[in-house]
Amino acid sequence: MQETGDRSQQAGVGWCAGLALAGGHHLSARSRLVWAVALLGAAALVGGPASRGAEPLFYPDDPILVDDDTLFDAGGIRERPGSAYYDFVENTFLTPGENRDVRAMNINTADEVPDSSWFTNRLGHRPLSLEELTRGPNRVDRLSVEGWPIVEGKGQGRTPGWRVADPDGQIYQIEFDEERFPERISGAEVIGTLFYHAIGYHVVETYLVEIDPARIVLAPDVTLEVEGAVRPLTRLAVEEVLDRAARLPNGNYRAIASRFADGDPLGPFRYYGTRPDDPNDIVAHEHRRELRGNRVFASWLNHVDSRGVNSLDMLVGPVGGRHVRHYLFDFGSIIGGGPGVASQPRAGNEYILDWGKGFKTLASLGLYRRPWLRVQYPDTPRSVGRFEAESFDPRAWRPEYPNPAFRNLMLDDAYWAARIVSRFSDAAIRAVVGEARYSDPRASAHVADTLIARRDAIARLWLNELNPIHDPRLDGQGRLTFDNAAVDAGVASEPTDYVLTWYRVDNATGEHIQVGAEIWITGPQGRMPAPLGADAYVAVLVRGIHPVRSGWLRAARVHFRRTAGGWETVGIERAFDERVPVTRRPDRE
């Protein structure tokens, strides 16, 4: 069943709006955003409309690569505690945030997400070595917590553990696997941390460690807070934690040690709206591409716990120049892991409360059987949860309960995320899974094989819904070349043809004048018409002709700007409404 408000399946905006240029949605430069907000505020005060006059399609600094969202001092911001119960109720019974057919509001003119306090482009912009992938955010290769005193009990969460301090006072959270499922949560945490870091999110350092119970040390006066009540953390309480944890054959305990993020904690962020006390937070979270696109990443890893309370805002920077950095954390429920409901067959297939499916079951007196109840899960070691690829449908995947940013996902957001997923090679996936250090090689093989299959399913769907050309280049001699993300990912064959339509562009007025007739090419190489050689800005509309991939008819429009050495790509837009009709292929000699 389609999720209410699911933008990925709706027509979205029309052709003109779907190809809104830099003067429309692409105001990613912080100075432009601040200017626009100030102008709107001034207009409201005088009761008149906000008008800036004619704007160019592209500014000299387009496409913006870094969104400087640390411009204003956020030192006055205060901690905002999160509530898992409130988050569930609000998102299940209400519909917070906007639900509008609008493109992401923090993308640049090249249809990419600039680096910011939310996201840093990594694999999406450059290849990562296996060493980079497997190191992730960690500052050291291996960590030993032996002799580090317990300074605080862990009173929240379903995973047993506590907090320790290193010799410099840095806090690490220690979490153990449940006795019933050795290696499950710890392996999932390591895998999730490495993948989300490679994608571009801010995550905390996470290490696998081994703890000898005989060498556990308690700091003086250490306490544990449970439901608001503070009590001493005794040796007996430590033993109770260990009684719930999985033990290694040598008598030690495997655990994860997560380094507390730098800065002052401010509580979780929400997947909708903005934080009113953060002067740099000016884009509604449900319209941030990296938060919308997380629906695709979460579906790949089956990160059903991808929700606001599993995020964290940290106040960082010097006095007078403080700003917020946004983190994702708690990946213990991915790949079928996690305690409780997150490890049930329903997880990833249906919300905890799905009114439509529940009504069907009730109305049919139980005769209606949910499709996921018929899924046959492979026989795997206890370290791996229910995780399979055969029935995986990226479009139908669901987290535990609705997410406002996921609800606003549009086709270009999904394409952006799917291209990043497709860039994880088989070797990269196996290397990341290897860092979980499963004792049974069958567990590693199953997780890696399933991730590879789910990666291909994501690429097969989302890379073919739109025109998948990317990395267009125009050299000084007018030769156009580009790549095809779907072909590169091995989820589509080469098209029979590409159709090019060239335009002369007036950057000041936005006027586009077609130059010459359509040009048909059989491969990803073409040539710009000679009359455009002296222009400052040109554009080419590219459509793909494929026997089965009708989404390739949705045109991609690329803008180039003349430079001293030739041309640079300054804009890419993908239509996701109309499929521009092509009447017939011209005869060739």
- Rounded mean pLDDT, 97-115: 95
What confidence category does residue 577 fall into, taking pLDDT thresholds of 50, 70 and 90? low
Which of 17-26, 136-145, 378-387, 444-453 is the least confident region? 17-26
Q: Single out the residue of 263, 292, 267, 227 nearest to residue 87, CA to CA.
A: 267
What confidence category does residue 343 fall into, taking pLDDT thresholds of 50, 70 and 90? low
What confidence category does residue 42 fall into, taking pLDDT thresholds of 50, 70 and 90? very low
Question: Helix, strand, coil: what percent of the chain each, to 5?
Answer: 30, 20, 50
In the chain, pLDDT over 70 holds for what percent of residues?
85
DSSP string, 406-428: HHT--HHHHHHHHHHHHTS-HHH
User: Does the predicted model carry a pTM greater than 0.85?
Assistant: yes
What confidence category does residue 10 fall into, taking pLDDT thresholds of 50, 70 and 90? very low
The residues, ordered by sequence, that sit 6+ positions from 279 with a Cβ below 8 Å of its Cβ are 72, 73, 74
What confidence category does residue 264 fall into, taking pLDDT thresholds of 50, 70 and 90? very high
- Rounded mean pLDDT, 535-550: 96
- Rounded mean pLDDT, 57-84: 95
pLDDT over 90 (residue 345): no
What confidence category does residue 357 fall into, taking pLDDT thresholds of 50, 70 and 90? confident
CA separation for the pair 15, 574 (Å, rounded): 9
pLDDT over 60 (residue 109): yes
Q: What is the pLDDT of residues 230-261, one digit of tens each?
A: 888 899 989 999 999 999 999 999 999 999 99
- Rounded mean pLDDT, 146-150: 96
Task: Please report, for the chain, the start and end positions of each structural domain, with discontinuous segments joined by +.
Answer: 7-127+271-324+337-462, 132-265, 469-574
pLDDT over 80 (residue 53): no
Which of 198-202, 418-422, 454-458, 572-576 is the least confident region? 572-576
Containing H/E element for 433? Answer: helix 426-434
First-to-last CA distance in the chain? Answer: 50
What confidence category does residue 21 fall into, taking pLDDT thresholds of 50, 70 and 90? very low
- Rounded mean pLDDT, 181-208: 98
CA separation for the pair 424, 455 (Å, rounded): 8
Q: Counting every residue, how long is the chain?
A: 589
CA separation for the pair 319, 76 (Å, rounded): 11
The pLDDT of residue 349 is 87
- Rounded mean pLDDT, 552-558: 95
- Rounded mean pLDDT, 543-553: 95
What confidence category does residue 122 fall into, taking pLDDT thresholds of 50, 70 and 90? very high
Q: Calculate the average pLDDT of the chain.
A: 88
Which amino acid is present at 275?
R
- Rounded mean pLDDT, 45-54: 45
CA separation for the pair 268, 326 (Å, rounded): 8
The pLDDT of residue 4 is 37
- Rounded mean pLDDT, 141-160: 86
**Structure-model confidence comparison of residues 375 and 542, the more confident one:** 542
Burial class (CB in 10 A: 0-12, 13-18, 19+), 52: exposed
Beta bridge partners of 573: 557
The pLDDT of residue 481 is 98
Q: Single out the residue of 556, 525, 526, 544 nearest to residue 582, CA to CA.
A: 544
Burial class (CB in 10 A: 0-12, 13-18, 19+), 317: middle
pLDDT over 60 (residue 469): yes
- Rounded mean pLDDT, 13-25: 35
In the chain, pLDDT over 90 holds for what percent of residues?
75
- Rounded mean pLDDT, 2-20: 36
Helix axes 411-422, 441-462, angle to 10 degrees: 140
Containing H/E element for 153? Answer: strand 149-153
| Coil, helix or strand at residue 537 | strand
Handedness of CA 136, 137, 139, 144 (dihedral sign): negative
519 is written with which tokens?
């040009």
Which amino acid is present at 404?
P
pLDDT over 90 (residue 576): no
The pLDDT of residue 340 is 52
The residues, ordered by sequence, that sit 6+ positions from 376 with a Cβ below 8 Å of its Cβ are none
The pLDDT of residue 46 is 39
Which of 121-130, 152-161, 405-414, 450-459 is the least confident region? 152-161
The pLDDT of residue 156 is 61
Q: What is the pLDDT of residues 284-310, one digit of tens each?
A: 999 999 999 999 999 999 999 999 999
- Rounded mean pLDDT, 316-344: 87
CA-to-CA separations, 133 to 127, 129, 138, 256, 352, in angstroms, rounded: 10, 6, 11, 18, 33
